[in-house]
Amino acid sequence: MNKWPIRVPMQIQETISSWLVRLAIGQGCDPLTLTGTIWADWRAWTFDLDRGIPKERIDILLELSDIRKSALKQSALACEISIISSLPLLKHGIWPWLLGIGIRNRRYRGGLQYCPLCFSSDTQPYFRRQWRFAWATNCEKHNVLLLDRCMQCASPVEPHRLSVLHVKQLSFCATCGIDLRKCVPQPNLSGALRFQECARNFINLKQGEIWGRSIDIREWFDACRQFINMIRRVVCQPESKLGRMFTDIGVPFHKIEPEQLNLRLELLSVGCREQLFDCLNTLMSIHINDISNILKYYSITKNSFWSNNYENPSPLHFLNSALSIQNRRYKSRTNRTYGVPKSKIAVLKAWTRLKRRGIVD
Ligand SMILES: [Zn+2]
Ligand SMILES: [Zn+2]
C-alpha cells in the first residue's frame, strides 16, 4: 500500500483517536473508512485507541503515515496510567483514573471531554490527552469546566462517527451536527481545579503529598480514591459522625445527589466528579496540625475512615492513633466518648486556622 498523500502531524499532547480522526478528514474520508483500510480485520473503534495501539497493529500504521513509532508510544495514555496504578492494566475493562468510554458497537456512552474555548483557539481543533483523565474536570488554560456532552442534544462526544461529507474538522457533534465551539463555557469550582493541578504536578514529580507527608505517587492516587469513597459514603449517610465532621469543616458534600453516584469514578459525569474533587480538596487542605484533633473530636472510627480492604500506607500511619477502634460486638454508649480530646480548645483553634486559610466560610 502507498503512503497517504496528505501529511497530518500529531499536535502537542494530542490523543491517538483525535489524530486518527484528523488524519481521515485530511485524506477526505470518514474515520471509519480510514481505520477499515488500515486494519481490515480489526474493528478499531470498538477499542479505546487512546490507551495505545496494540503492538501487532502498529507497523501497518507506520507504513501508511509519517508518524514516528516513538510519537505513537508517547501519546498512549498507558504511559501515565501505568505510573499511578498499583493494579495491572487489563486489556479489557476500565483502567483506574482513565475515563471509560463505555463502547457498545462503536458507540460511546461518554469519556471524551473538551474545552470549547481551546477548540476555538486551535487552527485545527484536536482533543488533548489530559482531557481523558478522570481527575481532569477543568481547562487549566481557560479556567472553565470541561464539557463531556454536546450542549444541544446532550449526546456524548464521538468524533470517530463524523462524516467527512458534512464536516471538515472534528469539533462537531456527530449526532446533531452543531459546532461544539459554540457551546457555552461553564464556570468551574476552584477546589476541583486545585486538586487537578496537584494531580498533574505530582505525576510529573512521581511523588505525592498528603497532610504534609510525602507519599509514593501510586499510594497518593489510591488514598485519593479512598477519600472519594468516604465522601460518597457521607453523601448517602449525612447524619453519620463523618457527615457531621464534614459539615463543620466545610466539605461541600450536600451539593451532591446520592443518585448521581451510582457509577464508578471513571464513569461519572464531569459535573459529578468536579463536586467530588471539590470536597476532596477541602478535606486534603486541612492542616497537618489539625487533622488528628479533628478526627479525635468527632470520634471517627478506623472502620468509617478507611475501607475494610484498604491498607493505609506508612506516611498516613500517624492518623491511626487519632482514629478510634469500634468494637462492633460490645458497642456501648460509653464508647461514644472514646478518643475525645480533653478540651474543645484544640478543635476551635483548628477551626480558626481553617477559616483563616479560606477553606471554610
Ligand atoms: Zn480551554
Ligand atoms: Zn449534539
Note the pLDDT tens digit of each residue in 2-56: 788 899 999 999 999 999 999 999 999 999 999 999 999 999 999 999 999 999 9
The pLDDT tens digits of the residues spanning 300-337 come to 999 889 887 888 899 999 999 999 886 555 444 444 44
* Cα of 183 from ligand 2 centre, angstroms: 10
* Cα of 83 from ligand 2 centre, angstroms: 35
Q: What is the pLDDT of residue 337?
A: 44
CA gap 285, 31 in Å, rounded: 45
Nearest ligand, CA 119: 1
Nearest ligand, CA 174: 2
Q: Which residues contact 300 (CB under 8 A, 6 or more apart)?
A: 241, 242, 245, 322, 323, 324
Q: What is the pLDDT of residue 334?
A: 45
The pLDDT tens digits of the residues spanning 84-143 come to 998 889 888 899 999 999 888 888 898 999 999 999 999 999 999 999 999 999 999 999
Q: What is the pLDDT of residue 28?
A: 95
**Residue 153 CA neighbour count, 13 Å, CB half:** 13
Q: Where are the beta strands (DSSP E) in 143-220?
A: 144-145, 207-210, 213-216
Global pTM reads: 0.88
* Cα of 183 from ligand 1 centre, angstroms: 12
Nearest ligand, CA 172: 2
Taking a 5 Å cut-off on Cβ, the residues next to ion ligand 1 are 115, 117-118, 139, 141-142
* Cα of 60 from ligand 1 centre, angstroms: 34
Q: Where are the beta strands (DSSP E) in the chain?
A: 138-139, 144-145, 207-210, 213-216
Q: What is the pLDDT of residue 338?
A: 43
Q: Which residues contact 180 (CB under 8 A, 6 or more apart)?
A: 114, 116, 119, 147, 150, 157, 171, 172, 173
Judge contact between 305 and 319, C-beta under 8 A: yes
The pLDDT tens digits of the residues spanning 182-236 come to 999 999 999 999 999 999 999 999 999 999 999 999 999 999 999 999 999 999 9
